[in-house]
């Protein structure tokens, strides 16, 4: 394969998580900062829409002022622990 723009576009589309959602996926919890300079919030919102359409339990938590990665606070850690307790027991 020669990696040209057309092939790269095809590979990107075929391997994007938003295009791989299926009804047998596990529950998904996403934290996304609304000030992320690397991954636009719209990416997580699009994935959540696909998960909803597939009937997958999900939750998107938007961190006001959050950038790409941050240290979780106690409130966020409790959300994560509760999520795991609810869906992985």
Q: Is-contact 70 34, C-beta < 8 A?
A: no
Q: How far apart are CA 23 and CA 38, in angstroms?
A: 29
Q: Is-contact 33 67, C-beta < 8 A?
A: yes
Q: How far apart are CA 32 and CA 7, in angstroms?
A: 30
Sign of CA dihedral 58, 86, 34, 36: negative
- Does the pLDDT of residue 1 top 70, yes or no? no
What's the pLDDT score for residue 56? Answer: 98
What's the pLDDT score for residue 47? Answer: 98
Average pLDDT over residues 1-8: 82
pTM of the full structure: 0.85
Give 58's strand partners: 28
Q: Is-contact 55 84, C-beta < 8 A?
A: no
Per-residue model confidence as pLDDT tens digits over 24-55: 999 999 999 999 999 999 999 999 999 999 99
């Amino acid at each position: 394969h020669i990696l040209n723009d057309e092939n790269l576009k095809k590979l990107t589309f075929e391997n994007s998580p938003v295009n791989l959602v299926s009804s047998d996926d596990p529950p998904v919890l996403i934290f996304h900062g609304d000030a992320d300079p690397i991954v636009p919030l719209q990416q997580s919102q699009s994935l959540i829409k696909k998960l909803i359409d597939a009937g997958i339990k999900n939750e998107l938590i938007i961190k006001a002022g959050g950038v790409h990665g941050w240290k979780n606070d106690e409130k966020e850690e409790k959300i994560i622990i509760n999520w795991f307790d609810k869906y992985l027991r």
